Amino acid sequence: EVRSITDLPGVGPATANKLIEAGYATLEAIAVATPQELSAAAGIPITTAQRIIKAAREALDIRFKTALEVKKERMQTRKITTGSRNLDDLLGGGIETKTITEFFGEFGSGKTQICHQVAVNVQLPVEKGGLSTPDKVAKAVYIDTEGTFRWERIEAMSKRWGLDPDEVMSNILYIRAINSDHQMAIVDELFNIVPKENIKLVIVDSVTGHFRAEYPGRENLAARQQKLNRHLHQLSRLAEIYDVAVIITNQVMAKPDVFYGDPTQAVGGHVLYHAPGVRVQLRKSRGNKRIARIVDAPHLPEGEAVFMITDYGIAD
Ligand code: ADP
Ligand code: MG
């Protein structure tokens, strides 16, 4: 099975190194290259380059498919419980693999708590709403851009299901992203790590923080959006190729109409304009109650769900 560039026919260690140095570190990069540029970059004959590109495309399943095949692939997507039946129902069963799910809302609306809970829940066996099989634990990657990850919450949320908290924590790969470039480099790296480690969930909390800080104001908006779109596209490919669920969060103002400096917020808050996926708006309600609403999803019914943030996690 071809999972990384070293598995491609005719790519030995020396060629692999040349390809990586020239920026062709992933199957995606090779799949979209031309034989000429690949040949020049790695010093290999054009015919070899053609063979490598073809193999990369086959490995990534880039080809014409019938609509029926698309249907069958889509039906294979699996769902992770959020811990709240109401929220699961709103999402059509839970957080879906092969898809980006965006949670957006004001500070304290529960985005980070949901991320923690799903990082635990993915590890549950399939019949309990996770993606672990008897022989393989489903792991999570947690990319933290704001420093709000708390292992104590993982512990509490694990105990809720009777899971061993240390075991659950050992199956969450945590990394702090220090800026937007680093954030994107981490996702590049995930194309190598995800298939090897049976990772079934990738969290980016928050996806927008660094981008907003580094590209402030209207004058930087176009550059910011362009880079952010590249990042979202990266995540969307990762989700699709490796049958992984991706959760991103995005903090927005409670009243976008008064936050006129940032048009991306005025439009409704979410960042998944051009990327496929599910957008969920979170609002604070009384006490520990929160309201979730699906925005702009053609395949899911309109509606709202009420859930709670408790000591032991996301619940009804
Ligand atoms: P966001 O990421 O959207 O800014 P969070 O997910 O961090 O918001 O949610 C913060 C809220 O979660 C807090 O306001 C609090 O109500 C709730 N919360 C956090 N920790 C606990 C806990 N241990 N027990 C109960 N509720 C908690
Ligand atoms: Mg947060």
> Where are the domains positioned within the chain?
5-59, 73-315
268 has a pLDDT exceeding 60: no
The alpha carbon of 255 and the centre of ligand 2 are apart by a number of angstroms equal to 18
Q: Please report the pLDDT score of residue 296 as a whole number.
A: 74
C-beta 145 within 6 A of ligand 1: no
What is 73-315's CATH number, 1.10.3720.10, 3.40.1390.20, 3.30.420.10, 3.40.50.300? 3.40.50.300
CATH class, range 5-59 = mainly alpha
Taking residues 158-166, what's their average pLDDT?
97
Place of tokens 């199957």: 27
Q: What is the 3-state secondary structure (H, E, C) of 287-312?
A: CCEEEEEEECCCCCCCCEEEEEEECC
Give the mean model confidence (pLDDT) for residues 205-224. 90
Strand ranges of the sheet holding 304-310, from the earlier edge strand across to the other edge: 172-176, 139-144, 199-205, 245-251, 99-105, 278-284, 289-295, 304-310, 313-315
C-beta of 283 in contact with ligand 1 (< 6 A): no
Q: CB of 223 closer than 6 A to ligand 1? A: no
Q: Share the mean pLDDT of the chain.
A: 90
Distance CA 166, CA 154 (A): 9
Mean pLDDT of 208-216: 91
Percent of the chain with pLDDT over 70: 94
Mean pLDDT value across residues 169-198: 94
pLDDT given at position 204: 98
> Residues 59-102: pLDDT tens digits?
888 888 899 988 888 787 899 999 999 999 999 999 999 999 99
* pLDDT, tens digit, 9 for 90 and up, residues 225-256: 889 988 998 999 899 888 999 999 998 876 55
Cis ω before 206 (30° cut-off from 0): yes
CB-ligand 1 contact for 112 (6 Å cutoff): yes
The 10 Å Cβ neighbour count of residue 107 is 11
Ligand 1 in contact with 100 (CB < 6 A)? no
Tell me what pLDDT residue 20 has.
86
Regarding predicted confidence, which is higher, 290 or 192?
290
Instruction: Enter the DSSP assignment of 218.
Output: G
Q: Are 119 and 142 in contact (CB under 8 A)?
A: yes
User: CA angle, 180 as apex, 174 and 182 as ends, to 5°?
Assistant: 55
Q: Distance between CA 190 and CA 172 in Å, rounded?
A: 14
Summarize pLDDT for 14-53 with one digit per residue, the tens: 989 988 888 888 888 888 889 999 999 888 999 999 999 9
Answer yes or no: is the C-beta of 210 below 6 A from any ligand 1 atom: no
**Measured in angstroms, how far is the CA atom of residue 310 from the centroid of ligand 1?**
8
The Cα–Cα gap between 209 and 176 comes to: 13
Give me ligand 1 centre to Cα 161, in Å. Answer: 19
Expressed in angstroms and rounded, the spacing between residue 153 Cα and the centre of ligand 2 is 13
- The residue to mutate among 102, 104, 113, having the most atoms of ligand 1 within 8 angstroms of its beta carbon, is 113
